[in-house]
Structure formats: structure tokens, C-alpha cells
Amino acid sequence: MNDERHAVIVAARRTAVVPKGGAFKGLQADELAAPVLRQLITDAGIRPDQVDQVILGNALYGGGNPARLAALRAGIPQSVPAMTIDTQCCSGLDAILIAARLVASGAAQCVLAGGTESFSRAPIRMHRPAGPGESAIAYARPPFAPAPFEDPDLTDAAARLALERHITRDDQIRYAIASHQAALASASVTKDRLVRPEGVDLDMDPFSRNLTPGTARRAPILSGDAETGLSAATIACEADGAAAVLIVAGREGAGDGFTGLKVLNGASVGHDPSKPALGPIAVAWDLFRNLEMKPEDLESVEIMEAYAPQAMVTAEELGIVPEQLNRMGGALARGHPIGASGAVLAVQLYETLRSGRVSYRGAQKRGMALIAAAGGLASGMAVETV
């Protein structure tokens, strides 16, 4: 980021994260995002016409521009452009990184950025018939890497990682239980900060619960073997939700009065598509080297928990201790609204560092958000309080 001018996250909000088919089942992705955008404008005390751009990530809609729909629904003037990006699971965090770079470069003064996803209302995917007499063919997901690259099912890739690293089912279950416990422990903060879409009054993420070892052990194995396989208890469930931040320009020593999170840097990397879970490790080390930081310098680290082994290996390789990790619970306790998940990490990081729930020996609290995506992509963002 520019040394003189920098990007500051001055507001961060999200909806609850709700399993597919739940309380948000009737809401399109843009309908989930619009109230979040409106609330951010209110929180920041700005006018809608002061927003220069809206950028949202989305992974499942495969067309259209949900960001534009959400912006117009939110009452943002029609003169304000809006853009939707798709880097699958990285989409929400990548949208925030793009916004931060626009602001830091001087191309914008104020940007709304995040992600939104509805598994419940996502279009049905079909391949168009190739010729007369042929039928459309349904498909579950598009390819994320072409031949000769390996393009594994993500759950199978996570199961393979668990087998290679010998992360047992009991190891995974203990990790999942801790994620749920952290989410429940922070419920009072979450309750006051969640945005409620019209007609849906949720004051917590409904999937968070008092998960017990017995309940988790009864969940059937979905991929892998009896010893290290993954189950519904150790895989984040498909979910609906939206999350976003408002980013403005600040200047070093200018006394502009902004409080929030200064974006220190962000990075995206590409790596081996056959090992999608390992990308966050590479992106984190890139950020540490660039910022001359060490893992122990971070007060809080948000690592996406699409799969328990993925987050566990990332934390272990980086030397992140439990006291730093996903302090308000992770995706195993919430769910995974694909295009919004990276933005949820950013909001959780904002809440953790700004809530007063944590203390730090330095003048600023520092944190990092990390997420991987299909096709061998990963993104990360480092921030500090201002």
C-alpha cells in the first residue's frame, strides 16, 4: 500500500450466516447484501452519494451483477458504479483488497466492499445441449483447473490432507468443538452487530451450538477413511449470508480522526491446484516478509474453516496458537456462504480487534485474515487498529 495514503476500514457489518434452506431461503444474494450496505453507510455517518464504488464477491450466481442490484436496493445513487467479482471462496476478501488498493492509490475516496451468497437461491447449473436431440446436462460445479492439472473435489482434497498429516477424526472433532464454543462465547457481541434483512429477525448464527464429542462422532464420514475422514461435523455447511466493510482514505500524520483498521497490506497467490488447502500458508509468509512481521506479532488471526484439517494445518505451519485463532468462532460453527466467506473473516477481524475483548502490549493491535479457494488460489490481508 502507498506509504503516504492508506486505506482504513471504518465500519464492518454482516448478516447472520444461515445454513442453506434456513431462514434466508427466500432471499437472493443482492437482497442479503443491501441491508448490510445501508447499515455501513449509517455506521460511518456518510451520505450514500459519497460512496465512489461498490465491489462484492459472489461465487454461485454465474452471471449478472449482484453488486449492482444490492447497491440500488440499498439506496446508493444510480451514478455509483458496482462490480461483482468471482474468485470462488476468496471472492469476498479479494473484493475488499481491490477496494483497499483503489483507495490507497487515490483512485477512490470511499468504497463499499465485501461478499454475498445464497446457496438457497443460486441458479441451477446446466450445460447447454450441444446439438439437436440432446438434453441439457446438470453439473455440480465448473472446472477450476484444466487438464493436465489435477482438479480434485475439495472435500476429497481435504480428506487427503488429513490422511497425509495424520489428523485423526478426534483431532478434527476437538477443533470443531472449540470453534463452536468460541462462537457461543462471543454471542453477545454478535447479537448487537448483526444486520437483519427485512422479515428475518436473527440475533445469532443459528448453526452455532454446544457440539459434543458424541454428537460429532455420530456424524457419518463424507470423505476419507475411518481414522482420518471428514464428516458433517468437520466440514463447514453450505450457507447463505452477506458481509461487507466501508473503506476510506487516510494519510499518515494527517490527524484525519478515522478509527478502525488500517489495511497494512494484502496479497493473493496461486499455487498447486491439487493442494488447494495449502495456499493460505504461502500468502501469509508473503505478508510477513513484506511487512517485516512475525506470527507472534498478531493479536488475532482469522483462518477460513472450510474443512477442519485445512485450518489446522495452516495454523500449525504458521505457528498460530489457539489464543490467536478465530477468536469469535470460525466457519465450522457458522457455515460457508462461498462468495461472502472472505468478507465474513474481515468483519470478524474488525469486531475482534475493535471490541475491547482483546488486549495487546503494543500501541496497535494487529491481525490477519486468510482464505483458500478452488483452483489453487489464496488471499490474505493484514491490518492494525488506528
Contact 95, 68 (CB under 8 A): no
pLDDT digits (tens, 9 = 90+) for 187-204: 988 888 999 998 899 999
What percentage of residues in the chain have a pLDDT greater than 70? 96
Measured at the alpha carbon of residue 281, what is the angle toward residues 275 and 285, in degrees to the nearest 5? 145
Give pLDDT, residue 345: 98
Rounded mean pLDDT, 119-140: 93
- The pLDDT tens digits of the residues spanning 223-275 come to 999 999 999 999 999 999 999 999 999 876 544 567 899 999 999 999 999 99
DSSP 157-182: HHHHHHHHHT--HHHHHHHHHHHHHH
Task: Kindly report, residue by residue over 155-172, the tens digit of the pLDDT.
Answer: 999 999 999 999 999 999
Q: What pLDDT sits at residue 271? A: 94
Distance CA 272, CA 327 (A): 29
Tens-digit pLDDT profile for residues 45-71: 999 999 999 999 999 998 789 999 999
* pLDDT number for residue 251: 72
Please indicate whether residue 336 is annotated as part of the active site: yes
* CA gap 359, 366 in Å, rounded: 11
Helix (H) or strand (E) holding 231: strand 230-231
Q: Which of 6, 180, 271, 336 is catalytic?
A: 336
Of 6, 89, 90, 110, which residue is the catalytic one?
89
Q: How high is the pLDDT of residue 353? A: 94
CA–CA distances in Å: residue 87 to residues 94, 138, 207, 297: 8, 22, 25, 29
Q: List helix spans (H) across the chain.
A: 29-44, 66-73, 91-105, 154-165, 169-185, 187-193, 213-218, 279-291, 308-318, 338-354
Q: According to the model, what pLDDT value does residue 54 have?
A: 98
pLDDT in tens, 275-324: 999 999 999 999 999 999 999 999 999 999 999 999 999 999 999 999 99
Domain formed by 5-123+236-385, architecture: 3-Layer(aba) Sandwich (3.40)
Average pLDDT score over the chain: 94
Q: What is the mean pLDDT of residues 79-85?
A: 98
315-357 per-position pLDDT tens digit: 999 999 999 999 999 999 999 999 999 999 999 999 999 875 4
What pLDDT band is residue 358 in, cutting at 50, 70 and 90?
A: very low
The pLDDT, as a whole number, for residue 172 is 98
- Asked whether residue 103 carries a pLDDT value surpassing 50, the answer given is yes
Length, in residues, of the chain:
386
